[in-house]
Structure 1
């Protein structure tokens, strides 16, 4: 099988744009992705794969062709729904199409408009990614689900609220340098730990915002990629599924789908966790970032708080994590999140990240989770350095 490369990428700002159409947001992301590659245009795209949850019930059927047509693409289009991992899986499907030889250039991306709904309606749509009968219909919210995970982790490893807050403080500091971030401001440890409780032990600053936005990535064959300078090779990609309901799993202090997806990606790339130079991980809630450190093999079980305390995952640390601001502060428009992670990695690996550029980064990891762990996808991108 031939290699696949990310040759261009673009996204909208993530934030609150209730007057925007999901079609217009996606068209903007596509336009920016195409503009990032000198010499590639719409006519070169063979097909498209797009991810969305479809919040609010707008255009549930054929929403994929609806957005690609609006973006000026007359190509076969497939919509992927895997909750918050939708566009991470869309990128994976694009990679598979290119590696198999069925396509030379595939556009992969995602989109979501969430802030035009009432709080109650948004809570409903967020909840549909949980186990329906025993979680959502009994009143469990996603904050409540991840709070259970945080509580179990704190009990198992003597972690504190401040340990959760350090992830939030770090990601807000990173987002302050990202012009696309929804919450582009800094916060202190006291701000994060002392904020209002959402679901004990999670405070407001431990929870990602409800965001709108879109992201698009251009995946191309090695023959096409050879024509361009700023490319990143897809060194490995892995995906896994697990039980949708948290209560059905053996442990509340890990996400097995993340472990399995990472193992597949590492094996494909012929690397290990120690080779990763930077990572974008799925931190919908602060506890999710701590779990990701351990599930992805960055440290042993129970050692995630120590990485944060020692600054290992800071922007200038040995392993920068979520230099974009992560879901926590960059934002989380569900269908766009996974592709947005790839956009950030591509920018970092091609030296386009501006004030948040990580020096000497060659191998980047994107980690995208659906729901509380019912699905996960891990992608490894290798730069040209």
Structure 2
């Protein structure tokens, strides 16, 4: 397999977009290609993620984006894997480029739901769960993740302040990120006084609905002889799945797909958790960040929330986690989320992170989950 790089990445600011999803996706794709130093004609394949495009009465958006880029003859494919859609797209781009099927590929993730009311938006989000056994019977994602949080609290005797520290840390990081939906720090009092959404999860334990778009350009090392940017070497690209329904899982103290994908990724990269300088993990709820850190192998079971409270995962802590602000505060535009994590790593490695820069970072890991962990992608990156 050929050494494969991320040569550019770009994102808009998450939140509410005035433009259509198609327009936003095309704009960030142009920006990423321009950053890369490549031309649109160099793209051999486009992978687009837009899980809820039907909310804008638009499916099959890939050819429309390619046409706007001036490459209508380039093949495109829509990749849907719930919240892990664009990281699944990145995996496919890696496979195509590393395997020699294309010299360069474009990954685009986009979502727009802000023109809908809360009930409609929630209904679209819920499509990632099992309708027959979960959604139809009243389950929601806050409720499902609250079940995980409740199991964790009972098993490890965690306190609300521990989950609160995760939210506080991610809001502090997002305040430094121009791409973030929420750019205002929160206090522990603000967290503790926020309403219960699904016990024990409070409002500030939950990520927001977000519009957003992100794009990543992947290319073979041999094709990019003089990179315009500091590329990210893709050391590993791994995916895994697990039982979709939570009621069928034997264990509620972790997400099996994360554990399996992490094992594959570290084996592929010939690395260990101790070799990673910072992480972008899927923190759709604060409990999700704690579980991710344990399932990925960075902390023993039951310890990640305590480590957060002690400052270990802060921007200048021992292991910075979600310097972007994460899904919790940067935002969660579903199909753009995985690509957006790569944007953060690209900006960190290229000196574009400003005040949220992670000191002396040479390696990074991105972790992106679909639904309650029924699908998962783990990517490991390094400098050249």
- The normalised TM-score by structure 1 is 0.97
Aligned partners of 1:225 and 1:231 also within 8 Å: no
Report the CA distance between 1:378 and its aligned residue: 0.2
Alpha-carbon displacement from aligned partner over 1:213-247 (angstroms, at most 9, x marks no partner) = 10000000011233215111000111001111111
Aligned match of 2:239 = 239
Does residue 211 in structure 1 map to residue 218 in structure 2? no
Q: Deviations over 1:108-153 (max 9, x none)?
A: 1200001111111111101110111111001111000000000010
Render the CA deviation track for 1:175-229: whole Å, top value 9, x for unaligned. Answer: 0000010011100111112201111111110100100010000000011233215
Q: Alpha-carbon deviation of 1:34?
A: 1.8
Shift of 1:55: 5.0
Q: Deviations over 1:353-383 (max 9, x none)?
A: 1221111101100000000011000000111
Q: In 2, distance between residues paired with 1:148 and 1:60? A: 34
SS of corresponding position for 2:215: strand
Instruction: Compute the displacement of 1:56 (Å).
Output: 4.7
Q: Deviations over 1:255-298 (max 9, x none)?
A: 00001111111000000111110000000011000000100001
Alignment of 1:339-350 (within 5 A): 339-350=339-350
Instruction: Determine the structure 2 residue equivalent to 1:144.
Output: 143
Are the equivalent residues in 1 in contact too, given 2:161–2:309 (CA < 8 A)?
Answer: no
Contact 2:166/2:309 (CA < 8 Å) preserved in 1? Answer: no
Aligned residue number for residue 62 of structure 2: 64
Aligned positions of 1:175-254 closer than 5 A: 175-228=174-227, 229-254=229-254
Aligned pairs for 1:260-275 within 5 A? 260-275=260-275
SS at match of 2:128: coil
Indicate if the aligned counterparts of 2:22 and 2:61 stay in contact, CA closer than 8 A.
no
CA distance in 2, matches of 1:199, 1:72: 47
- Contact (CA 8 Å) 1:11, 1:28: kept in 2 or not? no
1:278/1:321 contact within 8 Å kept: yes
Give the distance between the partners of 1:69 and 1:86, measured in 2 at CA.
Answer: 22
Cα RMSD, aligned residues only: 1.2
Corresponding residue number in structure 2 for 1:304: 304
Residue 9 of structure 2: aligned partner: 9
Which runs of 5 or more structure 2 residues have no equivalent in the other structure? none
SS for the counterpart of 2:77 is: strand
- Contact 1:2–1:100, Cα closer than 8 Å, also in 2: yes
